[in-house]
């Protein structure tokens, strides 16, 4: 069995899609949800699915021994960042080389980097007059949104689109392609 840890800071819609996709899977299981936000909706989702959740402080998250103990205790094979808003420490990137992935709601390298998340990304896409946007699933390295691209999927940006409509289209792509990509990576 391959074990996934999901790191998320918000509502948890991508976490929910991943959890549901792998709910009865024969060889992949979500065993841990980590958040840095004690008010994150993802905690409730984890509890509903009887998945261990950990609310980690900045000190805990930055402590190599603490994080290794947490992740090793559950034999984590892959870490999935699904709206996690903290930079991953170098020690985790080294230990989980090519085993930490992130999903970004734009076609990187455009509209990525520190502070570019959620609606801010869609606002930037619209402000730039882009005719297409999409999602990027990539490996995580020491810089925000700069790791090797695994998969990109595109949508058209229509003249009448706004932040909410773009967000809805992007979320559909995320929910479809993130679980499928995880499954391929863990084969």
Per-residue exposure over 44-67, b if at least 16 CB sit within 10 Å of its own CB, e if not? ebbeeeebebbebeeeebebeeeb
Give the pLDDT confidence score for residue 20 in this predicted structure: 97
Q: Catalytic amino acids?
A: 104
Domain that holds residue 74: 2-185
> What are the distances in angstroms from CA 41 to CA 16, 18, 85, 91, 173?
10, 15, 14, 27, 21
Let me know: does 36 contact 28? Beta carbons within 8 Å. no
Give the pLDDT confidence score for residue 185 in this predicted structure: 97
pTM of the complete model: 0.95
Task: Determine the number of helices (DSSP H) and then strands (DSSP E) in the chain.
Answer: 7, 7
Give the pLDDT confidence score for residue 45 in this predicted structure: 97
pLDDT, mean of each 10-residue run, the chain (187 residues): 97 96 97 97 97 96 96 97 93 96 97 92 97 98 94 97 97 97 96
How many domains does the chain contain in total? Answer: 1
CATH code for position 87: 3.40.50.170
């Amino acid at each position: 069995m391959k074990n996934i840890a999901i790191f998320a800071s918000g509502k948890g819609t991508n976490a929910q899609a991943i959890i549901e996709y792998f709910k009865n899977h024969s060889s992949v299981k979500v065993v841990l949800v980590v958040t840095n936000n004690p008010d994150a909706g993802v905690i409730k989702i984890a509890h509903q699915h009887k998945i261990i959740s950990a609310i980690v402080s900045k000190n805990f998250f930055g402590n190599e021994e603490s994080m290794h103990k947490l992740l090793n205790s559950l034999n984590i094979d892959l870490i999935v960042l699904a709206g996690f808003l903290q930079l991953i420490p170098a020690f985790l990137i080294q230990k989980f080389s090519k085993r930490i992935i992130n999903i970004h709601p734009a076609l990187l390298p455009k509209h990525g980097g520190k502070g570019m998340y959620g609606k801010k990304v869609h606002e930037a896409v619209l402000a730039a007059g882009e005719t297409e946007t999409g999602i990027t699933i990539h490996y995580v390295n020491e810089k925000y949104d700069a790791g090797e691209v695994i998969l990109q999927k595109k949508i058209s940006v229509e003249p009448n689109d706004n932040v909410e409509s773009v967000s809805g289209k992007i979320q559909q792509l995320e929910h479809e392609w993130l679980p499928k990509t995880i499954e391929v990576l863990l084969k």
